Structure 1
């Protein structure tokens, strides 16, 4: 079905070339899609669990079979370097395989009762699920909701970011079509904020899974609450990376470079704040800056590079404004701080004011701040001094001391002796505070909680008798 929103060109950020022209949905399309999804969902939920599982397994195999083509789209449309695009394709397949186990997972439990009856809880499909995914890692951040929602008997309305609609939308729909998913269960609705609003407001949509900025997530959460439906919100981050006094600086810099600049820093888990013991600080800044200066930035589809372009001019200009502000307020730009087109150099900001935007907010670009600390207590206070709480990395020779330090810092994810950007299909994923509403993705427990409703059921041999 053609959408009423007109068309949109998919633009390659590295070159400005038009990759494809796609149709856009409008608000009226949401109601039609939701109606069709609701009809299809009833039949899908009634199928034997093994049949739903088979579709998910076939989808996983197809992601692997078509990986080369999908990676190519990811590189060109998103600007990812090929290794990261390959990782995204691998995780996407893994998400389908993990989801294939959900239909046969225990979906309830027996309950005790004082009455002469059988009493149990039952997990039933929520119905129609709205999935709103962002541009930065469109495969993973879409499939981690789409796959388990479908596996558990739901239908899905998928709204990818219009800038990456082929990678994050068209590819997903085509894979599931080829896998044998019945028509109507996965509806693609590329469009702007008004389409997302219509998805949240539609009465047939009972659960919304949103990944995006904290600002947009607040609006989604407020709107969902007004309509009495659940919203699972995976939002922004400004993750801390603590380098303790006993850390190996070279190893820490290696970890940091990956956590800083992978996908141009356009990952919610990217390191934003480096909190480095004062005894290592100068050496760390020097080596991290040297590493940043050595990195090759360019077109990932044409050359072997470490970093590709940021997604668009608005993103680039915001990044650069924040870097200039920090420099004007006395911070040292130890590396980077320049750009050509959409290619922003990997940037290191040394000792910015703690209220500088580049330090206090999520940059969502290849820019990091580095500050010193004196004691573990100070490190914990600095790391926790943020509205966000997504991921945390700690580098130390004493892993147990690192774990003890982590207990004082509220985050949804902790990695000791690793950087902050990690993802596995079977692991719980989510943030606290302004980073979201907790772990609602990854692992059977989180997925079942996210995409089903709990029903209480009792059975008696004979009708009950009441004294009325």
Structure 2
């Protein structure tokens, strides 16, 4: 059971469901294990939530949403400010949890916590931004009022890679817009993507039932999370295959759906780029958190004239990256989330090599540790050129003219992020405008997120935009109330 109020917050303190403001065990009879991806140690076990538990969570949210919407906006803002204080005061414990549950290094964990506090601060402004409008009418003596209203209840399904932030982003902003939320974290990150958020908001003073967390897996609840009649919107972050299914089920049930899916992002280096900056940014863009980031650069495209110089520097930097225990201070690349993912990456690389790809760096797979691999001589029909490689594997390609870089970058079903490096900003802007992607960064990494800037992808990388005003728009709807102050004349 959960140990509420323990002096030092640990994973074993957060092993229950959080439903209606109460911590309780799941009733499915299925036990979920929380495992350290580096050591294989079982950190905790969890009785999984059943469909009845899920129903209780949605019903609790539905009951609590009206009181939350009507609470004074300044009181609601204070709860988010309290949440920021709680996160900062428990930073060291949260870093440990991210290392244990996700395999993240201290660098990754602190980066993620910074993103979390930023989005909490942005969500804190939402209660004071629920403004409406009074608009004119072509009909005499008529007034049109537009009110911004919360959707009601939002269901959030979060991923394993940046679970603390990618859960907090939709949860905090949906709450900030006056909604109640039910969160289902990924089964590999039950705490940092789930019950930790419940604890934070409980301690921050969020009313009971406004946030509920169900810890379970799909084999137990099936499509129940999306099909349930209570939620008005579903937010899903994860793979394209699952995202397509979520969208299909949500569509059949007439629910709004926001999808943040995969990427096959291109990192373009033009012949006038600052090579040292480009190398540093390209390595960061691929190997941060073992490449398990949707915005990671799968493909590095280098202009022909500078290929040898870039490749030499790039390979040297990749080979210098330390692989190992995420708890060690000098580790850059820790474990991938589980052995299944590691095995899949090893097979992906081997198939590319069998098809004629050449390794500039060839890393080995050791349990959940996948050492860096850089492939070249990759053709467009090879799997590694077309799929999202969620690990420390990257393709380095050469192009001739600027339009070739754009063509290669766009030769993908995905369109999430990207980068262009050049000392000619106008040239970089022309290329960036022509790459079919939701986000792209000039002279920077492909991994970037800011709390007030629209975040989202195009093509099969999903749809919808979060952060700032875009989150406020996604999690609210405009309600029209008209007032006729005169005597309306009707035609009959």
Q: TM-score, normalised by structure 1?
A: 0.97
Whole-Å separation in 2 of the counterparts to 1:461 and 1:57: 43
Q: 2:118 aligns with which of 86, 94, 99?
A: 94
Q: 1:257 aligns with which of 271, 283, 286?
A: 283
Q: 1:335 aligns with which of 358, 361, 378?
A: 361
The alignment status of 1:345 with 2:355, answered yes or no, reads: no
Whole-Å separation in 1 of the counterparts to 2:38 and 2:487: 70
Q: 2:199 aligns with which of 174, 179, 182?
A: 174
Does the 8 Å CA contact 2:266/2:299 hold for their aligned counterparts?
yes
Whole-Å separation in 2 of the counterparts to 1:196 and 1:260: 34
Does the 8 Å CA contact 2:74/2:128 hold for their aligned counterparts?
yes
The alignment status of 1:2 with 2:25, answered yes or no, reads: yes
Question: What is the deviation of 1:106?
Answer: 4.3
Whole-Å separation in 1 of the counterparts to 2:80 and 2:297: 33
Whole-Å separation in 2 of the counterparts to 1:25 and 1:441: 28
Question: What is the deviation of 1:196?
Answer: 6.6
The alignment status of 1:186 with 2:211, answered yes or no, reads: yes
Alignment correspondent of 2:10 = none
Question: What is the deviation of 1:54?
Answer: 1.1
Question: What is the deviation of 1:105?
Answer: 0.8
- Structure 1 segments of 4 or more deviating over 4 A? 462-465
Question: What is the deviation of 1:329?
Answer: 1.2
Whole-Å separation in 1 of the counterparts to 2:208 and 2:435: 46
Indicate the SS of the match to 1:20.
strand
Whole-Å separation in 2 of the counterparts to 1:170 and 1:463: 57
Indicate the SS of the match to 1:71.
helix
Indicate the SS of the match to 1:247.
coil
Question: What is the deviation of 1:119?
Answer: 0.2
Whole-Å separation in 2 of the counterparts to 1:110 and 1:80: 50
Whole-Å separation in 1 of the counterparts to 2:118 and 2:146: 30
Alignment correspondent of 2:35 = 11
Question: What is the deviation of 1:467?
Answer: 4.6
Alignment correspondent of 2:184 = 159
Q: Which stretches in structure 2 are left out of the alignment for 5+ residues?
A: 1-23
Indicate the SS of the match to 2:342.
helix
Alignment correspondent of 2:99 = 75
Whole-Å separation in 1 of the counterparts to 2:372 and 2:49: 36
Indicate the SS of the match to 1:280.
helix
Does the 8 Å CA contact 2:455/2:466 hold for their aligned counterparts?
yes
* Pairs aligned (count): 466
Indicate the SS of the match to 1:58.
helix
Q: Which stretches in structure 1 are left out of the alignment for 5+ residues?
A: none
Cα RMSD between the aligned structures? Answer: 1.4
Question: What is the deviation of 1:464?
Answer: 4.3
Does the 8 Å CA contact 1:261/1:366 hold for their aligned counterparts?
yes
Whole-Å separation in 2 of the counterparts to 1:130 and 1:103: 20
Superposition pairs of residues 144-293 of structure 1, within 5 angstroms: 144-193=169-218, 195=221, 197-293=223-319
The alignment status of 1:133 with 2:140, answered yes or no, reads: no
Indicate the SS of the match to 1:276.
strand
Whole-Å separation in 2 of the counterparts to 1:200 and 1:122: 28
Q: 2:448 aligns with which of 400, 422, 439?
A: 422
Question: What is the deviation of 1:279?
Answer: 1.1
Superposition pairs of residues 288-367 of structure 1, within 5 angstroms: 288-367=314-393
Does the 8 Å CA contact 1:132/1:196 hold for their aligned counterparts?
no
CA deviation vs aligned residue, 1:275-309 (integer Å, no higher than 9, x gap)? 11011223322322222221111111245311100
Whole-Å separation in 1 of the counterparts to 2:270 and 2:50: 52
